[in-house]
Chains A and B, each alone.
Chain A
Amino acid sequence: MWKRLLQLVLFVAILGALAWYFEGPREAGSGIGGRLVASQRTEPDSYNRLVSPIYPVELISRLTSAPLIRVNHVSGALEPALATEWAASSDGLTFTLKLRQGVTFSDGTPFTSADVLFSFRALYDRKVASAIASGMMINDKPLVARALDDHTVAITFPAPYGPGLSILDSLPILPRHTLEAALDSGDFGNVWGLNTPPADIVGLGPFVVAEYQPGQRMRFVRNLHYWGKDSAGRALPYLDELVLEFIPDQNAEMLRLQAGSLDLVTDEIRAEDYAALERASAEHKVQLVDAGVSVDPTGLWFNLKPGAPSVKGRAWLQRDELRHAISLAVDRQKIVDTVFLGAAEPAYGPVTRGYGPWFVPSLPHASFDPARAKALLESIGLKDRDGDGQLEDASGKPARIAVITRKGSTLLEHTMASVQEQLGRIGLGVDIVALERGELIRRIVGGDYEAAYYGAPVLSLDPANNSDLWLSSGNFHFWNPGQTSPATPWEKQIDDLMHAQSESMDMARRVALFADVQRVFAEHEPMVFFAAPKVTVAMSARVTGAEPAVVQPQVLWKPETLAVTGAAIR
C-alpha cells in the first residue's frame, strides 16, 4: 500500500517537474505567456540576415538573433543586449565592450567573443557580399573587431562616428560553431536558406524557429536558453509561441484581426480600415496606437544609372526637370485626402516630421503649380506637338513613363493612380505596372525599369545609420545604387556632407550638416515623395507588453516582453 502511494507521489512529482521544465518558471495566474499570432504580408527569402536585404528577414533576425547593443525604438537610447557595458577610448574611435557571461546559443553552445569576431568577418567578407555591409561601413570603411578575452571585445571605427555604437543594432551575432565552415569554403551565401531544417537555425534571440510552412506561416517557440530577464528576474520571453502568418491580402488581414484570429498586424494599416478598427476598438477587441508620422514614406524615382537600357533613346527620363515637373504637377494634399483619407501629411522629401530633430520644416519645397510643371517639361523638349492634349518628345513619340510598383498594396497602387490622373492633366502619360514583390525587386536590382514607386523600411532615425540611401555607394541609393565613385557632382556633395555629419560628435553640427544634405537632395529630387502616412499600430486587445514605435518593426522590435492574455488563437 505504502509502496504504491510512494510510486504515485513520485510519478506526480516527475510529471510536475517535466511540466515546469517545459513551461518555464512562471507565476501562476500572472497572465504572462501564451501564443501570439502576427501577420506578415511578404515572406522571407532566407534565414540569413547577412545575405538578404529584405525586411521580413530582418524581422526574423530580430526574433531569433540578438545584437551586441540594441536601440530602443521608442526612446532612441542604447540598451545592453549581448554587451552589458561599454566604454570609449579617449579619441572616440575604439569601444571596449564587455560581453554577457553565461550566455549560450539556442543549441546550448556557449557564446564568446569568437562569435562576435566571426560575425564581423562574415559581414565584411567579399564573397558573402552582405546586403547589410554597406550600412555597417563608416566612410566606406569597415569596423574592426578584436577579442581582448573570451568576454571582451574592442571595436574600432575607421573614423569618428556621430551615432556611435547604435550602428551595432543592425548586426545579428551569428554562431561561429555552425557557420564558420561555410564561410571558410565560400558557401556562406547559401547557408540558412528556407529549406534549412529549423533545428539548424541557431541563435541568441528570444525565439527559435520551430516550423516553416511556405506560403502559410512560420512558427517560433521560446528559446529556453535565452539570456534576457525582466525587472523581476523572470526569464524572458514571456510568450511560449509566436506565429508569423503570411497574409499578402490586406483585406483578409483586417478581417482576421477583427474576427480575433490575429493578434498583431506587423505592417501599417490602411486609412480605409481605420473606421472599422475604431469600432472594434470601442468593443475592446482591438487596440489602436498612434505611433506618429511614418519615417519611411514611399518615393517615386527614375532609373538614373548612366546608359541604362530601359531609358535608351529617351534621355529626358533622367533629367532633373522631369522630376521637378512631376513634383510641381502633383497636388499632394489631394493624395493625402483621397488615398490616405486625411491620415497622412504631404511629404516633400524622405525625412518626415517623424524624424524629430532631423526634420527641417523650413526646407524649400515645390508648391502645386501645373503651369510651371508644363513649362519645365517644355524646357526638356516635351510638349504637345499635335494638339491631342498629350505631350510628345522631340522625336514625336508620346511622353509616357512606365512606373513599376508592388501589386496588392492598396496605398502604393492608389497613390500611383492619383499621380497618373494628375500628370495626365498636364499631358504626361503614366503606365502603372503592378508587379509581385519578387519580380519588382528583381527589376529594381537589375536596373530593368524606367521608374519605380516603392521604398524600404527605415530601421534607424539617425541618418548616419541610413547611409545606404544617402551615399552614392549605398545599396539603397535607389536611383543609382552601388556607385564606385559619385556619378554626379551633387551626389558627391551629399557624400561629403554625409561623411562630415557622421564623423561629427556635435549633435547641433550634425543636424545642420544633414539639413544641407536635404537641401541638395531637394534641389535635384532624385526621389519624389507625395505623402507620409500617420502610423497606426493595430493589435488585439489581448496583447500586453507592447511598446509601439514608428520605426519598423513597430512592435516586434522588442518581442521578448510581449504576452497574450486569455485563450490563445489556434
Chain B
Amino acid sequence: MMRGHDTGPAMTPAQRVGRAILVAVALGALLAPWIAPHRAGDQLTDRAYAPPTRVRVHDAAGFHAPFFYPQTLTDRLRRQFGVDTATRVPLVIGRGALLQSSAGDQPLLLLGADSLGRDVFSRVALGARWSLGVTLLGALGALLIGAMFGAFAAVAGGRADAWLMRFADFVLVLPAVYLVLVLRALLPAVLSTADVFLLMALLFALAAWPHVARGVRAIVAVELRRDYAEAARAAGAGRWRVVAHVLPATRGFLAAEMILLVPALLSAEAAVSYLGLGFPEPTPSWGTMLQEAANVRVLTEAPWMLAPAAALFIVVFALQLAGARASTRAVFFDSLASHASDPS
C-alpha cells in the first residue's frame, strides 16, 4: 500500500545538531559512572555551596596541562570561598573518572557543590539516567496506551467511541495532585529507587495517555475515510488490517507528542518528588535537584545549583531541533484533529 506521508526533504542541519546533542546526552547518561568524578551521595567536607572550580590551562607562568586553583573556605556561615593562586592542582585522567583532581583534599567541582557539599556535576550526570529514563519510559508508555486507545475508539465509532473519549476526558480532569497523595499514602513508607522508577513511569503513562488518545483517534478517524483505506476495505482487508495501514499516519503526531511530553514529564518528576513519590535520598534526579534549587536565594547566591535546569533545557532544545520536521507535520495533524475530534 503506497502512502505519501513518509516522503520529505532530507535531514536539516538543525536536526543533525539536535540528534547529535541527544546522542551525546544519552551517551553521557549511560557512561555517567565513568564520567562523574564523585559518587552521587558523597558529601565533601567544607564544600557546602562551593562554587564551580574553574579549569585553566594558562596562568602567569605560561601554559600548562589542565589544572585548577585550590578552593579554601574563608567564611563558612556566609559561604565565602577563596582561591589559592599560588598552587596548581593538575587534572588527571582516570582514577575512577574521566577527569579527576590529582589532590585528594581538593575535589574537582565542575559545576560547584550543593547545600550538602555534593558535586553537582556528578549528580547531574548520574541523575540523567534516572530522570531521562523515567521520562522516556513514561512518555513511551503514554504513547503506546494513547495510540491503542485512540485507534480502538476511532475504529469502534458510534457510542463506544463517545464513551471511550468521555473516559479519556475523565482521566484528564482527575486531580492529579490528590491522586498522587492518595497513592503515596497507600504505598509502603519506604520505596526503593527501582520501585519509584517503575511507579513513576507507570504514573506518567497513565496520566498522559488521554492527550495522545484524542489526537490518534482524530487522525485514524479521518484516515479511515480516505481512499486508500476504502480501497483496502474493498480489497477485502479486515477492520484491524486497515487500522494497521492507517496507524503510520499518526507517526508525526506521536513524534510531536513525544517532544512535548518529555519536558512536561521531566518537570512533573520534580512535582511528584515534592508529593512524596520522588526518588529517595541520595539517588540523584534532575527533578529532586531542581526542587532543592527552587528558591530565589539559590539564583543569587548559588546559581550553579540550577545546572539540572540547564541540562533539561538542552535536552528539550535538542528534542525540538531533532523533531522539527515531526512538529511541522504535527501542526497539520493537530489542525486535522481539531476538525474531526467530535465523535458524534
Interface of A with B (CB < 8 Å)? 251, 254-255, 271-276, 278, 334, 337-339, 341-343, 400, 402, 404, 407, 410, 413-414, 416-418, 420-421, 424, 431-435, 439, 449
Chain B residues, CB < 8 A from A420: 41, 281-282
CA distance A431 to B279 in the complex (A): 11
Q: Min CB distance, B236 to chain A, in Å?
A: 60
Cβ-closest chain A residue relative to B45? A334
A414 with B276: in contact, given A276-B297, A421-B43 (CB under 8 Å)?
A: no
In this complex, the interface size class of chain B, counting residues with CB under 8 Å from chain A, is 20 to 34
The answer to whether B296 has its CB under 8 Å from any CB of chain A is: yes
Once the chains bind, are A421 and B48 in contact (CB under 8 Å)?
A: no
Known A-B contacts A338-B43, A424-B41, A431-B280; A402 and B189 likewise in contact (beta carbons under 8 Å): yes
In the bound complex, CA of A334 to CA of B76 (Å) = 12
B106-123 near A? 1/0 per residue, CB < 8 Å: 000000000111000000
Task: Determine if A421 and B190 form an interchain contact, defined as CB atoms under 8 angstroms apart.
Answer: no
- Across the two chains, which residue of chain B brings its CB closest to A534? B77
A interface footprint on B22-65 (CB within 8 Å = 1, 0 otherwise): 00000000000000000001110110110000000000000000
**Do residues B41 and A275 form an inter-chain contact, with CB atoms below 8 A?**
no
Could you tell me which residues of chain B, from 48 to 89, have a CB within 8 Å of some CB in chain A?
48-49, 76-79
B190 touches A402 (CB 8 A): yes
The distance from the CB of A152 to the nearest CB of chain B, in whole angstroms, is 53
A431 touching B296, Cβ below 8 Å? no
Which of B43, B46, B296 has most A Cβ within 10 Å? B43
Q: Which residue of B lies closest to A336 (CB)?
A: B76
Instruction: Give the complex CA separation of A416 and B116 in angstroms.
Output: 11
Complex: chain B residue closest to A278, CB-CB: B78
| Inter-subunit contact B41/A341 (CB<8 Å) | no
**Distance of A402 Cα from B301 Cα, bound (Å):** 33
How far is B79's CA from A246's CA once the two chains are assembled, in angstroms? 29
- If A342-B76, A402-B190, A435-B276 touch, whether A251 touches B296 (CB-CB below 8 Å) is yes
A to B CB contacts below 8 Å, 18 in the list = A251-B295, A255-B295, A272-B297, A275-B79, A278-B78, A337-B48, A338-B117, A339-B116, A341-B48, A413-B281, A414-B116, A417-B43, A418-B116, A431-B280, A433-B189, A433-B190, A435-B276, A439-B185
Number of A-B contacts (CB under 8 A): 77
Q: With A338-B117, A435-B276 in contact, do A417 and B281 touch (Cβ < 8 Å)?
A: yes
Are A272 and B282 closer than 8 Å at their CB atoms? no
User: In the complex, what's the smallest C-beta–C-beta distance from A298 to chain B, in angstroms?
Assistant: 17
Find out whether the CB atom of A432 lies under 8 angstroms from the CB atom of B281.
yes
Chain B 281-295 interface residues, beta-carbon cutoff 8 Å to A:
281-282, 294-295
DSSP majority for the B interface? Answer: loop
| Alpha-carbon separation in the docked complex, A26 to B148 (Å) | 75
A337–B77 CA distance with the chains assembled, in angstroms: 9
Kindly identify, within residues 101 to 145 of chain B, every residue whose CB is under 8 Å from any CB belonging to chain A. Answer: 115-117
Docked-complex contact B115 and A407, CB < 8 angstroms: no
Q: Does A431 contact B76, Cβ atoms closer than 8 Å? A: no
> In the complex, are the beta carbons of B282 and A338 less than 8 A apart?
no
Scoring B41, B185, B281, B301 by chain A CB atoms within 10 A of each residue's CB, the highest score goes to B281
Given contacts A341-B76, A404-B189, contact A254 B43 (CB under 8 A): no
Is the pair B189, A434 in contact by a Cβ cutoff of 8 Å? no
- Please report the C-alpha to C-alpha distance between residue A275 and residue B75 in the assembled complex, in whole angstroms: 10
In the complex, besides A400-B190, A431-B280, 6 extra interface pairs with C-beta distance below 8 angstroms are A251-B294, A271-B77, A275-B77, A276-B301, A338-B48, A420-B41
Distance, CA A238 to CA B79, complexed state (A):
39
Max chain B C-beta neighbours (<10 A), residue from A272, A432, A433, A439:
A272
Contacts of A434 in B (CB 8 A): 276
How far does the alpha carbon of A275 sit from the alpha carbon of B298 in the complex, in Å? 12
For the complex, give the distance between the alpha carbons of A402 and B190 in Å: 7
Which chain A residue shows the least CB distance to B192?
A431
Residue among A402, A410, A421 with most chain B CB within 10 A: A421
Q: What residue in chain B is nearest A420 (Cβ atoms)? A: B281
Contact yes or no, A255 B116, CB < 8 A: no
Complex CA distance for A334 and B45, rounded to whole angstroms = 7
Tell me the complex Cα distance, A410–B115, Å.
10
- CA of A259 to CA of B185, assembled, Å: 37
4 nearest interchain CB pairs?
A: A251-B295, A342-B76, A431-B190, A275-B78
Shortest distance between the CB of A66 and any CB in chain B (Å): 39
Picked from A274, A435, A449, the residue with its CB within 8 Å of the CB of B77 is A274
Check A337–B79 contact: CB distance below 8 A. Answer: no
Specify which chain A residues have a CB less than 8 angstroms from the CB of B301 in the assembled complex.
Answer: 275-276
A148 to chain B, nearest CB (A): 54
List, in ascending order, chain B residues with CB within 8 A of A342's CB.
76-77
CA distance in complex: A402, B281 (Å): 12
Instruction: Check A337 against B46 for contact (C-beta < 8 Å).
Output: yes
From A271, A273, A343, A421, give the contact of B297 (CB < 8 A): A273
Q: Can you name the residue of chain B whose Cβ is closest to the Cβ of A401? A: B190
Please state if B42 and A421 are interface contacts (CB–CB under 8 Å).
yes
A339 / chain B contacts, CB cutoff of 8 Å: 48, 116
Q: How far is the CA of A414 from the CA of B118 in the complex (A)?
A: 12
Q: Is the CB of B43 within 8 A of A251?
A: no
B281 partner residues in chain A, CB cutoff 8 A:
413, 416-417, 420, 432
CA distance A338 to B50 in the complex (A): 11
Chain B's nearest CB lies how many Å from the CB of A492?
A: 33
Determine the chain A residues whose CB is within 8 A of the CB of B297 once the complex forms: 251, 254, 272-273, 276
**A421 → B minimal CB distance (Å):** 5
A432 CA to B116 CA in the complex, in Å? 15
The smallest C-beta distance from B170 to any residue of chain A, in angstroms, reads 28
CB proximity of A378 to chain B, nearest CB, Å: 24
Q: How far is the CB of B176 from chain A (nearest CB, A)?
A: 18
Q: Are B116 and A338 in contact (CB-based, < 8 A)?
A: yes
B76 partner residues in chain A, CB cutoff 8 A: 337, 341-342
Contact B46 A417 (CB under 8 A): no
Cα(A414)–Cα(B281), bound, Å: 10
Q: What's the nearest-Cβ distance from chain B to residue A336, in Å?
A: 10
CA distance A272 to B301 in the complex (A): 10
Complex: how many Å from CA A273 to CA B295? 12
A423 to B48, CA, bound (A): 19
Chain B contacts of A417 at CB under 8 A? 43, 116, 281-282
Complex Cα–Cα for A501 and B83 (A)? 55
Q: Once bound together, how far apart are the Cα atoms of A424 and B294, in whole Å?
A: 28
What is the chain B residue whose CB lies nearest that of A424? B41
Q: Which residue in chain B gives the minimum CB-CB distance to A407?
A: B276
- Whether B280 lies near A432 (C-beta < 8 A) is yes
Docked CA distance A404–B190 (Å): 10
The complex places the Cα of A417 from the Cα of B283 at a distance, in Å, of: 11
Q: How many whole Å from A251's CB to the nearest CB in chain B?
A: 4
Q: Please, which residue of chain B has its CB at the minimum distance from the CB of A400? A: B190
Question: What's the Cα separation between A414 and B292 when bound, in Å?
Answer: 11
State in angstroms the CA–CA spacing of A434 and B115 once bound together.
18
Kindly provide the distance from the CB of B39 to the nearest chain A CB, expressed in whole angstroms. Answer: 10
A463 nearest CB across to chain B (Å)? 31
Contacts of A439 in B (CB 8 A): 185
For B117, what are the chain A residues with a Cβ–Cβ distance below 8 Å? Answer: 338
B251-285 CB contact bits vs A (8 Å, 1 = yes)?
00000000000000000000000001000111000
Q: How far is the CA of A448 from the CA of B42 in the complex (A)?
A: 31
A341, B276: Cβ atoms under 8 Å?
A: no
The closest CB in chain B to the CB of A272 belongs to: B115
Q: Which residue of A lies closest to B191 (CB)?
A: A431
- In the complex, residue of chain A having the shortest beta-carbon distance to the beta carbon of B49: A272
Q: In the complex, which residues of chain A have a beta carbon less than 8 angstroms from the beta carbon of B42?
A: 421
